[in-house]
Amino acid sequence: MSKMHIKMTVNGKAAEAHAEPRTLLIHLLREEFNLTGPHIGCDTGHCGACTIDMNGMSVKACTIFAAQANGAEVTTIEGIAAPDGTLHALQEAFREHHGLQCGFCTPGMITRAHRLLQENPSPSEDEIRHGISGNLCRCTGYQNIVKAISAAASELAAAKEAAQ
Amino acid sequence: MIPGAFDYHRPSSIDEAVKLLADLGEEARVLAGGHSLIPMMKLRMALPENLIDLQDIAELKGISEDGGTITIGAMTRQSEIIASALLAEKCPILRETALQIADPQVRNLGTMGGNVANGDPGNDMPAVMQALDAVYVIAGPGGSREVAARAFYEAAYFTALADGEVLTAIRFAGPPAGHGYAYEKQKRKIGDYATAAAAVILTMSGERCESASIALTNVGDTPLLAQAAGEALVGTDLGDDALKAAADAAKAITQPASDGRGPAEFRTSVAGVMVRNAIVRAAARAA
């Protein structure tokens, strides 16, 4: 059960570690790479607090071995804002619309919403609710989360139009 | 929760995977999407000493059609089933079912092969495969063989898959153009297994039902082909009597557990409602 050499691209930068194959990706990210944005909530694949982006898909990092992500391209909540710290439209919208309550689910919510808006840039309320159905908010504050995602979608669409 | 220790392997061909399974023996398991196996490993209810990750095996991926026969590679993700234009046109019940499995993140990794081969009675695709009369293509040390979905499931987590074998693909004749279909699933919340669910595929000739295939999810140790329920519809106009006969025939073969999803009597009753609703919706979609 020797350690493996695991390499991946995390938030645009090469990252590597020696880890046992049984190491879960969420532990590698948090404990080896010090990316504590993705949270461990239920630890059973239900709550989505550990949601990250892997190879262009939203996935739950608590139910993936780091070894499976060897060679993958990973984005965590830490990689969503611009390098100079300017918040992404989704992050701004969560602040503006009070989409954070206790904040525990927020990294997963925003990382999932970030991918959702790439899959579907102008989702309906129903599509947003189904799109984040793998992310639980135990403050049950979905109303403002949905509002924030919807506002960010409009914001991003307006910015895109202005750029053209 | 930390799983037990294991060695990790990532073969790039089916032959290599089968050879690894043979060489590593009983304590080796294949890893597809991992969304059933990894939770069991975290609970230490599964303690494989070797994991053989199938993600790099290109021949296990993809959806194709040849002469009316549809083939789905075992490592095809649920999200790929949902996005497939071919399946949306030729066999839309798969998209409808996949959308009712877990949540978007889980569907991005969860595979068709894992869903049908794991033998979990809560999984949704096995009943659909029984309704479609699909066959499973299995690779093993002695070469390749096929087993019908209707003969594959023996008990909860016990299937016709022998030690050393890997399910490589699912194959079925595409249902006829104009068929009606529905997968009706009652669940307590998104991400839950069914309290009861029913898959229906039928064809109509005018007002008359010509053929009907019905199977049930999570109301027994295995998926259940409700043959008598399907037969109760053939030749009828799907009137109230026929719907009741089909629902009663389906309920008669259920043996659900009493659990958090409700007492057995309730789940049997829900199975009847799912069958009736699925027939009505399938009929409305049939041309």
Q: Walk along chain A (164 residues) in steps of 10 and give the mean pLDDT of each run.
A: 93 97 98 98 96 98 98 98 96 96 96 98 98 95 96 96 91
Concatenating the DSSP letter of every residue in chain B gives: --PPP-EEE--SSHHHHHHHHHHHGGGEEEESS-TTHHHHHHTTS---SEEEE-TT-GGG--EEEETTEEEEETT-BHHHHHH-HHHHHH-THHHHHHTTSS-HHHHHH-BHHHHHHS--TT-SHHHHHHHHT-EEEEEETTEEEEEEHHHHEEETTEESPPTT-EEEEEEEEPPPTT-EEEEEEE-SSTTPPPSEEEEEEEEEETTEEEEEEEEEESSSSS-EE-HHHHHTTTTS---HHHHHHHHHHHHHT--PPPBTTB-HHHHHHHHHHHHHHHHHHHHHH--
Give yes or no for residue B218 having a pLDDT over 80.
yes
Fold of the domain built from segment(s) B7-53: 3.30.43
Q: What is the pLDDT of residue A1?
A: 65
Task: Determine whether the interchain pair B38/A65 forms a contact, defined as Cβ–Cβ distance below 8 Å.
Answer: yes
Shortest CA gap A162–chain B (Å): 31
- Domains in chain A (CATH in brackets) are 4-79 (3.10.20.30), 89-159 (1.10.150.120)
If you average pLDDT over residues B211-239, what whole number do you get?
98
Please tell me the predicted confidence (pLDDT) of residue B26: 84
Q: Do A59 and B108 touch (CB under 8 A)?
A: yes
Residue in chain B nearest A57 by alpha carbon: B108
Whether B112 and B78 have beta carbons less than 8 Å apart is answered as yes
Fold: same for B7-53 and B180-285: no
Domain map (residue ranges) of chain B: 7-53, 58-173, 180-285
B39 at A interface, C-beta within 8 A: yes
Interchain proximity A22–B5, CB inside 8 Å: yes
* Fold for the domain defined by B58-173: 3.30.465
In this structure, whether the domain defined by B180-285 belongs to CATH 3.90.870.10 is answered with no
Report the pLDDT averaged over residues B113-131.
98
pLDDT over 80 (residue B180): yes
Using CA atoms, how far apart are residues A148 and B43, in angstroms rounded to an integer?
Answer: 36
On whether any CB of chain B is under 8 Å from the CB of A58, the answer is: yes
pLDDT tier at B12, thresholds 50, 70, 90: very high
How much is the pLDDT for B81? 98
Chain B residue closest to A27 (CA)? B2
H or E element: which one contains A132?
none
Question: β-strand A51-54 against A57-60: which pairing, if any?
Answer: antiparallel
CB contact under 8 A, B1 and A43: yes
Distance CA(B57)–CA(B66), nearest Å, equals 21
pTM of the model: 0.96
Region B26-44 average pLDDT: 96
Token pair listed for B92: 């839309």
The pLDDT of B180-200, averaged and rounded, is 96
In terms of DSSP bridges, do strands B69-73 and A13-19 run parallel, antiparallel, or are they unpaired?
unpaired
The CA–CA distances, whole Å, from A102 to A92, A137, B261 equal: 17, 9, 30
Instruction: Please tell me if residue B177 touches chain A, with a CB cutoff of 8 Å.
Output: no
Q: Does B62 touch chain A (CB under 8 A)?
A: no
The tens digit of pLDDT for each residue in B53-83 reads 999 999 999 999 999 999 999 999 999 999 9
Question: Stretch B3-28: mean pLDDT, rounded?
Answer: 96
Chain A partners within 8 Å of B102 (Cβ): 134
Task: Please write the tens of the pLDDT for every residue from B75-94.
Answer: 999 999 999 999 999 999 99
Report the DSSP pairing between strands B153-155 and A73-75.
Answer: unpaired
Distance between CA B283 and CA A164 in Å, rounded? 48
